[in-house]
Amino acid sequence: LPYAPERDFAPVSLLAEFPLLLAVGAEQPVKTVRELVEYGRANPALANYASSATPFQLASELFNQRTGSRFQHIPYRGSGDAVQAVAAGQLLMTIADSGPVAGPLKAGKLRALAITAAERNPALPDVPTMKEADIADMEIALWTGIVAPAGTPAEFVAELNRAIQQALAVPEVKTAMAAIAVEPRGTTPEAYRDLIARDAARWK
């Protein structure tokens, strides 16, 4: 990259954390993660996954490592496109963010097999965690946040941070996020800087 996140940005606040969902099309024959792994081994020509960005590809390759699978990466421009391809039966599975998955899941076009959170999500009570599906070390939480250019005056960063905390406390915002299994979570600039550094080290 032509920039370094830890050097070239002034962290303002985390906005939200969200788990990933392992999903297949509703018409697929698999009902559990174990059945998916077995199906992939028995049908290598059909063993693929749709992914739209590096975090989802890394999560899917981690799934391959944890299960000894060889699901092949098929890239898409966005999570919505990747999810729609799986819902249409063009690809077998996806590990994607909960937002784009929520609509097709509620419409009965997708089947969620597992969530990468530590615990089941209240918005998706019937979806087991990866740990419950006997896949170890697959707890993954992605996040989104606000940064400013490096060198932004501290008083400006503090004012932005205050506005973000106020917005995240609005009941309508919290309700809308909860509906797609996203947890609103504001932080101090310092805590957000630490999170960026920790996750950068982990995924490297």
Other beta carbons within 10 angstroms of residue 197's beta carbon come to 13
Which positions ≥6 away from 198 have C-beta within 8 Å? none
**Nearest in space to 95 (alpha carbons), one of 162, 48, 157:** 48
pLDDT score of 204: 82
How distant, in Å, are the alpha carbons of 17, 74, 145, 165 from that of 160?
Answer: 19, 38, 12, 9
pLDDT, tens digit, for every residue of 39-79? 999 999 999 999 999 999 999 999 999 999 999 999 999 99
pLDDT score of 95: 97
Please report which residue ranges of the chain form alpha helices under DSSP H.
5-8, 33-42, 54-67, 79-87, 98-106, 154-168, 171-178, 189-203
pLDDT, tens digit, for every residue of 155-169? 999 999 999 999 999
